[in-house]
Amino acid sequence: MSLCQSAVVCVAVLAICGCDRGQPADFKATIKAAARGDAVAQYKLGVMYDTGEGVPQDHAEALKCYRLAADQGLAVAQSNLGTMYALGEGGPQDYPEAVKWYRLAADQGLADAQSNLGAMYYHGHGVPQDYAEAMKWYRLAADQGFAEAQHNLGAMYALGEGVPQDSIEAYAWWFIAAVGGDADAANNRDLTASELTPDQLSQGQKRATELLKKIDSGK
């Protein structure tokens, strides 16, 4: 029986292992809420087991908790569940199952899931490799300001994967990913800048400014 499904077992285990010692006041309340079927509490408990925060790390238990929350439609739980299947944490690696859960979360607009779904299409994991579909999902996440997706878009434009090769567009996406804190994107931006003509660099900077304004405005 999963700890997420039984408040009695949850509290008993906590008492035995002393997991409640030094925990925030709402720790037991969270675990009881998870047992009552509260999706957010199930997700939070999944994160705790996933990371070993306050409890012994247990990916199998995390998978169970995420699944309970994901089955209720909680996008962040669906996304984390997809990642566990993609990495083979808590059970066998299962790319098609990862794609299933990423898609459910991505369809709800979760940028992290959209980016991960794009990666599945890019690499052909669990789905036929499809650069155009990868580009679609990366762009949805990138437009929400997700730096990893912005970086990946830059790489696809630089290599001409799914789109015509375009160093200016690559520079622009790497520029804004670097603004978002992506160090690799900053390196790629600088390298690309050194290969552009002054006019091309000006175009890339203008394009980056346009993209940043669009992202900041939420349009």
pLDDT digits (tens, 9 = 90+) for 135-164: 999 999 999 999 999 999 999 999 999 999
Please identify which residue in the block is written with the tokens 């160090």.
183
pLDDT band at 119 (very low <50, low <70, confident <90, very high): very high
Q: Where does the pLDDT of residue 218 fall: very low under 50, low under 70, confident under 90, or very high at 90 and above?
A: confident
Predicted structure pTM score = 0.87
d(CA 149, CA 4): 33
The rounded distance, in Å, linking the Cα atoms of 147 and 135 is: 14
Does residue 12 carry a pLDDT above 50? no
CB 154 within 8 A of CB 182: no
**Mean of the pLDDT values across residues 21-41?**
79
More confident position, 135 or 218: 135
Averaged pLDDT for residues 27-32: 83
CATH (residue range 109-219): 1.25.40.10
Looking at the structure, give the CATH architecture of the domain made up of residues 1-107: Alpha Horseshoe (1.25)
11 falls in which pLDDT band (50, 70, 90)? very low
pLDDT of residue 31: 86
Cβ pair 106, 137 in contact under 8 A = yes
Range 170-176, long-range pairs (CB < 8 A, 24+ positions)? 171/196, 171/201, 171/204, 171/207, 171/208, 172/204, 172/205, 172/207, 172/208, 172/211, 173/142, 173/208, 173/211, 174/150, 175/204, 175/205, 175/208, 176/150, 176/208, 176/211, 176/212, 176/215
Find out whether 34 and 97 touch, Cβ atoms under 8 Å.
Answer: no
What is the average pLDDT across 78-93?
Answer: 98
Torsion 66-72-73-75 (CA) sign: negative
Across all residues in the chain, what is the average pLDDT? Answer: 90
- Amino acid identity of 22? G
Give ranges for CATH 1.25.40.10 in the chain. Answer: 1-107, 109-219
pLDDT in the model for residue 30 = 84
